[in-house]
Structure 1
Amino acid sequence: SGTLGDIGTHVIDAARLLVGEFEQVNAIVKTFIPERPLPAGRFFGPSGAASSEKGKVDVDDTALTMIKFAGGAHGTIEVTRNSWGHHNQLGFEIHGTRGSIAFDYQRLNELRVAFADDPADAFGFRTIYSGPNQPFGDKLWPVAGMGQGYIDIKSIEWYNFLQAIADNKPASPDFRDGVQIERIAEAILVSGQNGAWETIKQSAA
């Protein structure tokens, strides 16, 4: 799996949750590094190592995608492994008629918001910090400013999944969401090859 499969699927998932279903995509998909050292033993983490032997790279290093959403919104997604200075970064900005929100995973406990009707002398983004008033905040970080981490997020996912089983209700996301994300990713790859807008097949309700 290339950048689109490793990183882009998470961004697609977030975009579907926050904005809605994808209707069409048009993409540029590129491989910048044609050969890479083959792994020797473990291929990631502090003990990962590379051999002197090289192999051909057959996956993407970057994907730039324009999106038409079913609800009428337009958007872009950029995913890449070639961005010095960035770590495991995932972020988004959403701009609507009443304001904007922005999030950066490397500042996990902050959500930036701006409102269209803010007075001129206070216009701009402000920061909301995670705390006990946010969902699950009273259970995981009951004191404002304590912050949350990766394991906290996973704990919330496990809780929601197990609660759905206990309540005999459908869990979300489900396999249909996974299939739809793969359809979108495949359409992006196809568009990267032919340069055309690709229409996304929608899952049955």
Structure 2
Amino acid sequence: MTTKQVRIGMVGYKFMGKAHSHAYRDASFFFDTEVEPVMQAICGRNEEGVKQAAQKMGWLSFETDWRKLINRDDIDLIDIVTPNNSHAEIAIAAAEAGKHVYCEKPLAFNLEQSKRMLEAVQKNNVLHMINYNYRFAPAVQFAKKLIESGRLGKIYHIRATYLQDWIMDPNFPLVWRLQKETCGSGSHGDLAAHLIDMARFLVGEFQEVNGILETFIKQRPIVEESSGLSGTASTEKMGDVDVDDASVFIARFENGAIGTFEATRFAAGNRNGNRFEINGEKGSIRWDVENMNHLDIYFHEDEPGLQGFRTINCTEDIHPYASAYWPAAHIIGYEHTFINLIVELLNGINKGCSPSPNFFDGVKNQAVLEAVERSSKTKQWVTIEEMLI
């Protein structure tokens, strides 16, 4: 039974705003938490749009100025689902106002901003978390348990890809995710950031990277309106695409493992192909978000003739988070990764700690992202240590 509440103020209300709102609404339905989220207020610049979003998604009130939202006495936590270039300003102001902060990924526009965000939450002693939701698929959490238990032995490789195709049409408009002044980077910061977080979660810390970034379509029509991953063009006027369309890099880890990573929005036929395979001395695991309840597992110790990948449906009570939902093989979906993360956030608030992934993880992630960018420019290996100095 819940004993206390945390009152949420969310800045932004479109794609991720919908995902976060759903998670707040269902967290206490599926899980017994000591803290109940109260959807106190939502904020957006378009008054009519945010008013409609508040009514549809179940928020008690709305604001059109995030500064006013932060200064409200009936708000305990600020949830940031805005474009990347506004994360730092909002998060730092929220921390200085004594509010806990939950932020979308990547943590910031660049590494310098992410460091300032971490400094702000530490200085003001507020709790913080970042939304790398794919960690919280039960199959991924089970993979983590297998690795930590030693079932795969020493880890040798990770190969990870995040493949999409939603901007392949050259006439697709210049939405904010394709403008450096708003997002900082393209597929690299949007998609590779997830791969980096997953690798840090499952394999360990990056030591050095070597990579390339590429932009295939240099100009696109100016956007009139956009929402989520869609948009419409306003005129025949064109604008420059100044972020990457694709990111490819190799990496060495501090524990001796090596990795290959690819993130692109130009992989035809891939709608949301977030996948990894990890190889160890005793076996391998592989996962695909488009089939997120399944974890493929291979153990080298299996007897000859029966060796091969087996597919585990990670919906049994023994699998992380699975017991809160449905009977075995009554599968869950993308939205449940957000619920599972929110439950960890609520538990952290109850215990007075910042669950991982938090702003520490966000800074480490940003350091790897920028190391790859530097490598692409210098055509050399770049260490993560030199980025964090």
TM-score range, shorter chain: over 0.9
Count of aligned residue pairs for this structure pair: 202
Runs of 4+ in 1 over 6 A off after TM superposition: none
- Among 261, 269, 275, the alignment partner of 1:77 is 261
Q: Counterpart of 1:163?
A: 347
- Cα gap change, 1:82/1:45 in structure 2, threshold over 3 Å: closer, same or farther? closer
d(CA) in 2 for partners of 1:136 and 1:41? 38
| TM-aligned CA deviation for residue 169 of structure 1 | 2.5
- Among 103, 107, 118, the alignment partner of 2:302 is 118
- Cα gap change, 1:159/1:9 in structure 2, threshold over 3 Å: closer, same or farther? same
Query: Is the contact between residue 176 and residue 203 of structure 1 (CA under 8 Å) also seen in structure 2?
Result: no
- State the TM-score, normalizing by the size of structure 2: 0.50
d(CA) in 2 for partners of 1:98 and 1:122? 15
Q: Is 1:134 the counterpart of 2:319 in the alignment?
A: yes
- Over residues 42-65 of structure 1, what are the superposed CA-to-partner deviations in whole Å (9 max), with x where a residue is unaligned? 25456x212322111110011111
d(CA) in 2 for partners of 1:178 and 1:123? 39
Q: Which runs of 5+ in 1 are unaligned?
A: none
Greater fraction of residues in helix: 2
Q: Counterpart of 2:182?
A: none
d(CA) in 1 for partners of 2:345 and 2:228? 29
Q: Is 1:34 the counterpart of 2:218 in the alignment?
A: yes
Q: Which is further off, 89-98 or 123-132?
A: 123-132
Report the residue type matching 1:123 in the other structure. Answer: Q
- Cα gap change, 1:45/1:24 in structure 2, threshold over 3 Å: closer, same or farther? closer
Query: Is the contact between residue 89 and residue 104 of structure 1 (CA under 8 Å) also seen in structure 2?
Result: yes
Query: Is the contact between residue 251 and residue 260 of structure 2 (CA under 8 Å) also seen in structure 1?
Result: yes
- Among 154, 163, 177, the alignment partner of 2:361 is 177
d(CA) in 1 for partners of 2:296 and 2:188? 26
Report the residue type matching 1:65 in the other structure. Answer: F
- State the TM-score, normalizing by the size of structure 1: 0.94
| TM-aligned CA deviation for residue 159 of structure 1 | 0.5
- Cα gap change, 1:189/1:154 in structure 2, threshold over 3 Å: closer, same or farther? same
- Over residues 122-147 of structure 1, what are the superposed CA-to-partner deviations in whole Å (9 max), with x where a residue is unaligned? 11111000212211111123x11111
| TM-aligned CA deviation for residue 41 of structure 1 | 1.5
| TM-aligned CA deviation for residue 84 of structure 1 | 0.5
- Among 221, 233, 236, the alignment partner of 1:50 is 233
Q: Counterpart of 2:280?
A: 96
Q: Which runs of 5+ in 2 are unaligned?
A: 1-184
Q: Which is further off, 36-45 or 71-80?
A: 36-45
- Among 369, 378, 383, the alignment partner of 1:194 is 378
- Among 86, 103, 107, the alignment partner of 2:270 is 86
Report the residue type matching 2:318 in the other structure. Answer: N
- Over residues 75-130 of structure 1, what are the superposed CA-to-partner deviations in whole Å (9 max), with x where a residue is unaligned? 11000010010011211000000100000010011100001111221111110002
Which one has the largest radius of gyration?
2
| TM-aligned CA deviation for residue 203 of structure 1 | 9.6
d(CA) in 2 for partners of 1:101 and 1:3? 25
